[in-house]
Amino acid sequence: MNISGRTEVYGIIGNPVTHSRSPALHNAAFAATGLDKVYVPLPALDGAAAVAAIRALGIAGASVTIPHKETVIPELDSVDPVAAKIGAVNTIVRRGDQLHGANTDWLGANQALGEALELAGARVLLLGAGGSARAIGFGLLEAGAMVTLASRTPAKGQELARQLGCPWRPLAQAAKQPADALVNATSVGMGPMADQSPVAAAALANFPVVMDIVYSPLDTRLLREAAAAGCRCIDGLAMLLYQGAAQFTMWTGQEAPVEVMRQQLSAP
């Protein structure tokens, strides 16, 4: 990689970002297409300050991850209608001196889950009440799935369910009801909770397909126990790949080199 004064800088803002596979993903894509761009981790404790830094430093675009997907919105010059409806931004695009917000999480989730089942008419139990759950829930409902939301925090989960227009159930109760797929959009399974699963192993037989958006670690306890229960498992790299490909196209106007990006994510 030959970095010069003309190299455009992209990055990922969030806390933490040390585990992120996005730099490797996007740098492989930039290299494969011969673009003079580089993508770096940008750890940020404050979402508003991070957006101000993007402005001041002339950063060309950014991914946004936990916990800033919602807090960056007031700091942007514009937000596309889908991201506004979702209420979360995971992509910042520079347009001249303006910063525009978008969301590709729902695209990535739909494409990843859609490889395992027909989304229209599918019954999906979605775990979580944060920005990722909001985006995934929106996307699934747009695709015609029947979504039930479950979360550890009743108030936040019930509010998100109201906004999405879908039912909410307490997590322990919801996991007892069979569905076509279960999607974990919580942080359970990563970091300090890496040895935990959001669902009891005994309940996983209720779900033929189990998808976990956590990708660090890749082999989460949820997916290990789901595989043991005979479920078809979708790990977090599938959603990362497809949402990242959509980001690449937003930033460059070019079709993403999906196979190159897939190979990069598959590399040890």
Domain co-membership, 78 together with 145:
no
Domain co-membership, 110 together with 228: yes
- Show the DSSP H helices in 75-130 as ranges: 81-86, 105-114
pLDDT confidence tier of residue 1, bands split at 50, 70 and 90: confident
Kindly state whether residues 146 and 208 are assigned to the same domain.
yes
Q: Is residue 3 part of a domain?
A: no
Catalytic residue among 69, 85, 156, 176: 69
Closest C-alpha among 206, 205, 223 to residue 214: 223
Label residue 40 by pLDDT band (50, 70, 90): very high
What mean pLDDT do residues 28-51 have? Answer: 97
Residue 156 annotated to the active site? no
Same domain, 34 and 57: yes
Coil, helix or strand at residue 106: helix
Residue 140 has what pLDDT? 98
Residue 262, in any domain of the structure:
yes
pLDDT, residue 66, reads: 85
Question: Does residue 173 sit in the same domain as residue 227?
Answer: yes
| Residues 95 and 121 occupy one common structural domain | no
Model confidence, pTM = 0.88
Q: Name the pLDDT band for 265 (thresholds 50, 70, 90).
A: very high
What is the average pLDDT value for the chain, to the nearest integer? 95
Within a domain: 56: yes
Say whether both 38 and 120 belong to one domain. no
Number of other CB atoms surrounding residue 148 within 10 Å: 18
Q: What is the CATH number of the domain that holds 20?
A: 3.40.50.10860
Q: Regarding beta strands 91-95 and 61-64, do their DSSP bridges make them parallel or antiparallel, or are they unpaired?
A: antiparallel
Q: What spatial distance separates the first Cα and last Cα of the chain, rounded to whole Å?
A: 20
Question: 88 and 41 share a domain?
Answer: yes
The domain that holds 197 is classified in CATH as: 3.40.50.720
209-220 pLDDT per residue, tens: 999 999 888 999
Task: Give the C-alpha separation, 258 to 178, whole Å.
Answer: 34
Give the tens place of pLDDT for each residue, 224-252: 999 999 999 999 999 999 999 999 999 99
pLDDT recorded at residue 261:
97
Read off the amino acid at residue 77.
Answer: D
The band of 109, judged by pLDDT with boundaries at 50, 70 and 90, is very high
Residue 2 lies in a domain: no
Domain limits for position 112: 106-234
At residue 198, the pLDDT reads 95
Q: Are residues 259 and 211 in the same domain?
A: no
Q: Are residues 118 and 92 in the same domain?
A: no
Number of compact structural domains in the chain: 2
Same domain for 97 and 24: yes
Q: How many CB atoms lie within 10 A of CB 164?
A: 20
Least confident piece of the model among 93-97, 177-181, 188-192 = 188-192
Answer whether residue 1 is part of any domain: no
* Same-domain check for residues 44 and 141: no
